[in-house]
Amino acid sequence: MARPPRYDSGRFLDAAVRLAAEAGPAAVTMAAVAKAVGAPSGSVYHRFASRPALLAEVWLRTVEDFQEGWFAALGDGGQGPRAAARAAAVHVVAWSRAQPRAAALLLYGPADFGQGGWPEESEARARAGHERVRTALAELCADLGEDGARAAERVALAVVDVPLTIVRRHLRRGEDLPPYAEQLAGDSALALLGAG
């Protein structure tokens, strides 16, 4: 017994992703999102209580999608910790290749999307995701027989940060990822882990 929705929140989020990828988080204004979708600004506020709430959702939806595949790659097949690390590193690049606009968001940080001013529910989701990653990295470390803050950092570099940096190099210049990017990420991960 109600008027049917005409814009669902996904459409607004998709537009927000596009805007952020093309011109940075600052370009994601409520007015710009509304215009991109062809909706009046009131309709955006019907779905998202505020600009911080929208930015939080854009960030979290993207990061959670990314993490889902990353956890799967890391845990997949029992081929030992080094193979798992390689698979995770490769996944970062493969996911970015499949969704370059979403990947462009990850190159920013939550702070650039206003974290700190988010609704508490969003802050909690961010903490939960962060915690899951932290735990997975700690387990990987243990499986590799490494310990200490320094080893933990080398592992994190290998399976997350360096692959993302490879993506950053190209996306920042507006280029596509080269065909060898996955292999470079995988090889770099093994090289860093082997450097122990």
Partner DNA sequence: GCTGTTTTGGAGAGCCCTCTCTATTTAATT
Partner DNA sequence: AATTAAATAGAGAGGGCTCTCCAAAACAGC
Helix axes 9-23, 30-37, angle to 10 degrees: 110
Site size for a copy of itself, by CB under 8 A? Answer: 30
Contact criterion met (CB below 8 Å) for 92 and 135: no
Task: Work out which of 153, 155, 175, 182 binds a copy of itself, going by CB under 8 A.
Answer: 153
From the list 5-13, 133-141, 163-171, 178-186, the region that binds DNA by CB under 7 A is 5-13
User: For residues 194 and 120, what is the distance between their CA atoms, to the nearest angstrom?
Assistant: 41
User: For residues 173 and 175, what is the distance between their CA atoms, to the nearest angstrom?
Assistant: 5
> Does residue number 36 form part of the binding site for DNA (CB under 7 A)?
no
> Does residue number 162 form part of the binding site for a copy of itself (CB under 8 A)?
yes
User: For residues 15 and 30, what is the distance between their CA atoms, to the nearest angstrom?
Assistant: 11
- When the beta carbons of 67 and 165 are compared against a copy of itself, the nearer one is 165
> Does residue number 116 form part of the binding site for DNA (CB under 7 A)?
no
Task: Work out which of 6, 111, 120, 145 binds a copy of itself, going by CB under 8 A.
Answer: 111
Rg value, the chain, Cα: 19
CB atoms closer than 10 angstroms to residue 132 = 14
- When the beta carbons of 50 and 165 are compared against a copy of itself, the nearer one is 165
Burial class (CB in 10 A: 0-12, 13-18, 19+), 54: buried
Interaction partner, residue 178 (a copy of itself, DNA, none; CB < 5-8 Å by kind): a copy of itself
> Does residue number 6 form part of the binding site for DNA (CB under 7 A)?
yes
| Least Cβ distance, residue 50 to a copy of itself (angstroms) | 17
Contact criterion met (CB below 8 Å) for 59 and 16: no
DSSP 148: S
> Does residue number 138 form part of the binding site for a copy of itself (CB under 8 A)?
no
Task: Work out which of 1, 111, 149, 195 binds DNA, going by CB under 7 A.
Answer: 1
- When the beta carbons of 81 and 186 are compared against a copy of itself, the nearer one is 186
